[in-house]
Amino acid sequence: MLINRETTLSLRCPACGLLIADYIHAFSFSGNKNPEIYCSCGQKKASIRREGNEKYFLVCLCAVCEEEHVLSFSAGEFWDDKPRPIKCPESGIQLGKLGPQKDLVGKLEAIAEQLQGDDFFINPDLVLRLLDRLQGLVQEGKLGCLCGSREVHVDLFPDRIKLICQNCAGEVVLPACRDCDLERLNRRNSVFIPGYVPKEKREKNP
Ligand SMILES: [Zn+2]
Ligand SMILES: [Zn+2]
Ligand SMILES: [Zn+2]
């Protein structure tokens, strides 16, 4: 489903040299927007243009030759699971990479950054606070799946957050439109996906 396509773009900043990953979700393009990517120092690093559903153009300000490069990707390449290097076409020097972020905390941070002022969500402030809370739980080791896996994928919808176990595909949905949704999450001290628990384990720990 288009809405759940996501990736991250890590590009070196031509002004300060920092390499930061920015989260890009299909919602970044909603309403025919061309997402623009800025460094935390304020320098614009890149913008992404989508043509139809099949072509993506990354316009980036190169940290090596300080010129603008336009790199094109098919939709399959752009949203690919495997990271691909972003290289300066003049010098061949790698400027960064494009590919989904596997680490959950890093991903939540990148999502939260991207979310500021986004109109994809019914209640963006609430979504930010929910993500913040989830991040805390991940750091405390209190977010995962009952199958034993800690590899959790996050899917965002306008009114809810879905956590999916990458191991057993178990999932849990957290509503994200009213303040009570955050209160409910704050009262929980862990979030575990009710995933697949092997039979022998179930019998030992009922
Ligand atoms: Zn910078
Ligand atoms: Zn270049
Ligand atoms: Zn699982």
Cα 16 to ligand 2 centroid, rounded to whole Å:
16
Q: pLDDT digits over 47-56, tens only?
A: 999 998 889 9
User: Taking the mean position of all CA atoms in its chain, how far away is CA 134?
Assistant: 14
Domain with 143, as residue range(s), is 104-193
Domain boundary (67, 99, 131) is at: 99
Q: Are residues 162 and 128 in the same domain?
A: yes
User: How buried is 176 (Cβ within 10 angstroms: 0-12 exposed, 13-18 middle, 19+ buried)?
Assistant: buried
| pLDDT tens digits for range 145-196 | 988 888 888 888 889 999 999 889 999 999 999 999 999 999 998 999 998 7
Distance 35 CA to ligand 2 centre (A): 21
Q: Into how many domains does the chain fold?
A: 2
pLDDT tens digits for range 127-150: 889 988 998 898 888 999 988 888
Residue 200 lies in a domain: no
Task: Choose the final residue of a domain: 54, 69, 99.
Answer: 99
Question: Which strand (E) or helix (H) includes residue 37?
Answer: strand 36-38
What's the 206 CA to ligand 1 centre distance in angstroms?
52
**Distance of CA 109 from the midpoint of ligand 2 (Å):** 28
Neighbours of 96 (CB within 10 A): 22
Distance 191 CA to ligand 3 centre (A): 12
What is the pLDDT of the chain when averaged over all its residues?
A: 86
Per residue in 19-45, pLDDT (tens digit) is 887 888 877 887 778 899 998 889 999
Same domain, 92 and 126: no
